[in-house]
Amino acid sequence: MPLIAYWRCFVGILAREGLRFIHQRERFVSALVRPLVWLVIFASGFRFVLGVSIIAPYDTYIPYQVYIAPGLMAMIQLFNGMQSSLSMVYDREMGNMRTLLISPLPRWFLLLSKLLAGTAVSIAQAYVFLGIAWFWGIRPPPLGWVLVFPALVLSGLMLGALGLVISTLVKQLENFAGVMNFVIFPMFFASSALYPLWRIKEGSLFLYHVCQANPFTHAAEMIRFALYGQFNLISTLVVLGATGLFLILGFIGYDPGRGLLAKRGGGE
Amino acid sequence: MIPALDVAGVDHRIGAKSVLKQVSFAVAPGDFTVLLGLNGAGKSTLFSLITRLFNTQAGSISVFGRDIGRDPRAGLGRMGVVFQQPTLDLDLSLDQNLHYHCALHGMARSLADERITLELGRVGLLEQRADKARNLSGGQRRRVELARALLHNPALLLLDEPTVGLDMASRKFLLAHVRQLCTEQQLAVLWATHLLDEAGAGARIVVLDKGEVKANGSIPDILAQAGRPDLATAFQTIVGLDKREETA
């Protein structure tokens, strides 16, 4: 298959995800409302409760809503990744996934294209959120808007790949709500998205280590640093490593020979 | 002649249950082969193996001489598939659905446009090209799925219970269209069904029952094997339905 065929395939998958997203307006609105509720209501309420000292990448004291904005961008991507995974389980049950998997292009490429397409959607959501957040005083430097792009690509891919792995583990759509509770909430709350880790350390050393081991913490930190024109090497390496691991597990899950789908067998 | 599809000694287990046992048959170019079996006979599992959703555990499946296990892409590129479940994206237009399929096969946009016009025209839905799939009837959606399966010019067409839930007119249309493709384009077709009347004259029959091929041949061969005058009673004899009825 020539390279151009791969490109056409990728563009086709990207276009479909984009069209699906445009047609599901409520999904777009809820993807924006969720972080905005956190920013506008939650952050206002906790503004004077949670003091944030000067920590990197910030060089001054910052209001609480400025602190949580990057974490909320990561949250958008976390929800998007889980939503893609939900749609993969749905597509698999409904048969749509099969139309993708019978393409003559390699399966890893098809799944990666689907993940990248989902990531593109989540990046668009994150930028719209950032645009609205500007009116609430979230004003990162102009360069930050550019530098955060690769960080969003990487974190979106990691969270999408995590969703891919979950979609291979979930047998039926009905089981998904439980997984959401066991994945989204622990990942989000046991991270640096809402409070800096030194605050958690004061409360519980064990929890601090849990937060440090959580790849979502590193996605949020990578985005935070990039948004303020800095580079967080450790977080980037952790996100890269987690992305690689989740991708491998996801590809194995969808491999017809080794995957969990194969172990469950065909449906009559 | 190299068969379009060659299923040889395929065994498949799901957990401890054996769902396919030594399944062997071939479909030649131009053949209209009906895979006949009751619900639960193993038809969909066999389709999952041919389309590489799962690996073949034992035996081999070849498409135009290429083992699908060793060279899956060569096989998948030459086959078109209509799945049992509806697989159109209802929120997208017919055009968008079909362009998506063409992209998955790496086709250029101009070629895709040309092929979509041709295949949608053949199933009589060219005017609805810009309509959302949601606005079509069940029969029309099936026709679009058939047109979609043919966009990349496959030489082997697989249809898994394509007429389930369709009215008489839609069933007749689908069947006639596919039979015409067999004759005119030498398309090899494997049509899985539990509806006996879909096996018309000239069809080859593979009877699958509880994961085993119980009969394989032309309709006269099947009638001779069962010693019955018509396909309905022959099928009942072959799968033991008549005995089950007697004991009941």
Asked if B44 is an interface residue toward chain A (Cβ–Cβ < 8 A), one would say yes
The dihedrals phi and psi of B163, each to the nearest 5 degrees, come to -105, 5
* Angle of CA points A202, A242, A235, to nearest 5°: 50
| Partner-chain residue, chosen from A16, A102, A105, that has the shortest CB–CB distance to B51 | A102
Average pLDDT for residues B34-56, to the nearest whole number? 89
Inspect the interface and report whether the beta carbons of A95 and B83 lie closer than 8 Å. yes
The pair of structure tokens assigned to A19 is 């069209």
| Partner-chain residue, chosen from B53, B104, B109, that has the shortest CB–CB distance to A9 | B104
pLDDT band at B200 (very low <50, low <70, confident <90, very high): confident
Instruction: Pick from B56, B89, B104, B109 the residue to mutate for testing the A interface (most A CBs within 10 Å).
Output: B104
The Cα B206–Cα B82 span in angstroms is 19
| Partner-chain residue, chosen from A1, A20, A264, that has the shortest CB–CB distance to B89 | A20
Residues of chain B in contact with residue A4, where contact means CB-CB under 8 angstroms, are 106, 108
pLDDT at position A261, please? 60
Residue B248 has pLDDT above 60, yes or no: no
| Partner-chain residue, chosen from A9, A101, A104, that has the shortest CB–CB distance to B77 | A104
Contacts of A175 (CB under 8 A, 6+ apart): none
Residues of chain A in contact with residue B50, where contact means CB-CB under 8 angstroms, are none
Inspect the interface and report whether the beta carbons of A268 and B74 lie closer than 8 Å. no
pLDDT at position B244, please? 63
Asked if B51 is an interface residue toward chain A (Cβ–Cβ < 8 A), one would say yes
pLDDT at position B183, please? 92
CA nearest neighbour of B90 among B131, B128, B126: B131
The model's pLDDT over B171-189, given as tens digits with 9 standing for 90+, comes to: 999 999 999 999 999 999 9
Asked if B141 is an interface residue toward chain A (Cβ–Cβ < 8 A), one would say no
- Minimum distance, in Å, between the CA of residue B84 and any CA atom of chain A: 8
The model's pLDDT over B69-128, given as tens digits with 9 standing for 90+, comes to: 888 888 999 999 999 888 898 889 999 999 999 999 999 999 999 999 999 999 999 999
Q: Which residue has the higher pLDDT, A2 or A152?
A: A152
pLDDT band at B243 (very low <50, low <70, confident <90, very high): low
Asked if B64 is an interface residue toward chain A (Cβ–Cβ < 8 A), one would say no
Inspect the interface and report whether the beta carbons of B44 and A106 lie closer than 8 Å. no
Q: What is the dihedral of CA A265, B3, B4, B5, to 10 degrees?
A: -10
Residues of chain B in contact with residue A110, where contact means CB-CB under 8 angstroms, are 104
pLDDT band at A159 (very low <50, low <70, confident <90, very high): very high
pLDDT band at B5 (very low <50, low <70, confident <90, very high): very high
The answer to whether residues B207 and B25 touch, using CB atoms and an 8 Å cutoff, is no
The per-residue pLDDT of chain B, averaged, comes to 91
The model's pLDDT over A202-260, given as tens digits with 9 standing for 90+, comes to: 888 999 999 999 999 999 999 999 999 999 999 999 999 999 999 999 999 887 766 55
Specify the fold of B5-85+155-247: Rossmann fold (3.40.50)
Residue A85: what residue type? Answer: S
Residue A234: exposed, middle, or buried by beta-carbon count in 10 A (0-12, 13-18, 19+)?
Answer: exposed
The answer to whether residues B238 and B222 touch, using CB atoms and an 8 Å cutoff, is yes
Residues of chain B in contact with residue A16, where contact means CB-CB under 8 angstroms, are 89, 92, 96, 100
Inspect the interface and report whether the beta carbons of A268 and B43 lie closer than 8 Å. yes
The answer to whether residues A161 and A243 touch, using CB atoms and an 8 Å cutoff, is yes
Residue A152 has pLDDT above 50, yes or no: yes
Residue ranges covered by each domain of chain A: 3-257
Residues of chain A in contact with residue B107, where contact means CB-CB under 8 angstroms, are 5, 8
pLDDT at position B34, please? 95
Residues of chain A in contact with residue B91, where contact means CB-CB under 8 angstroms, are 19-20, 23-24
The Cα B212–Cα B11 span in angstroms is 9
Residues of chain A in contact with residue B15, where contact means CB-CB under 8 angstroms, are 265
The model's pLDDT over B156-165, given as tens digits with 9 standing for 90+, comes to: 999 999 998 8
Q: Where are the beta strands (DSSP E) in B128-233?
A: 156-160, 188-193, 204-209, 212-218
Cis amide linkage into residue A57, ω under 30° from 0: yes
Predicted complex ipTM: 0.87
Residues of chain A in contact with residue B81, where contact means CB-CB under 8 angstroms, are 98, 102
pLDDT band at A93 (very low <50, low <70, confident <90, very high): low
